[in-house]
Structure 1
Amino acid sequence: MVRHGFILLTFCTALLGCAVAPAQERRSIAWDGFGQDPNKISKLPVAKRRAAPPAPAASDPNQERERVLGTLRPYSEAWWAVYDEIEAERDKQLGTKLVICPRCVQPRQDEEVTGSIR
């Protein structure tokens, strides 16, 4: 019985040793080859790499539009116009919050560019 306990203890200790990794170890990120390589170390200091704190919440511009939407006949042309404005504002707000990797985002081009796959 003691022998089985010793073997179990040795096995658990070996597994624990495999599971623990150094805290300061930097591992590379899987990169698909598109865009900038996330494994390249940024030249910006750590303080500048962190995201800026969110701006104080302003009043929701959609509140008035939603009130007007409730007074209109559903699915009329005016209703769809107000509804599209609300959705456009929500998309704009989401676009400002949804930034996965700020240094990976390329500047937007105003002109349409088509390319070839060749």
Structure 2
Amino acid sequence: MMRRGFVLLTFCAALIGCAVAPAQERRPIAWDGLGRDPNQAANRPSATKRRAANPKPAQDNPNQERERVLGTLRPYSEAWWAVHDEIEAENDRQLGTKLVICPRCVQSSPPKDDVTGSIR
């Protein structure tokens, strides 16, 4: 019984340690769209409401013209794939500007000269 209590206490402590962020780190965090947006202050109007009230013009989408051209090309031809790849690259670029990854979560690669091997 004592062992189970210790395991439960250790598990809870580990979860609390993962959930608590330092006070100086107030960066936006990923939000799945369910519930209240943790990035919004309680007194600010909703960003989605503002976007719905003032939609962006369609010309701000750089892929709009590419998608129109893609519809005119023969599917899976070389030209179709070239335009498709441009659209995907633009989508990846836009996602990269929005995506924020915690610096502690990304492991840096070890230096090239630091090689570990067996002793045999």
Task: Give me the TM-score of the superposition, normalised by structure 1.
Answer: 0.44
TM-score, normalising length: structure 2:
0.44
Structure with bigger gyration radius: 1
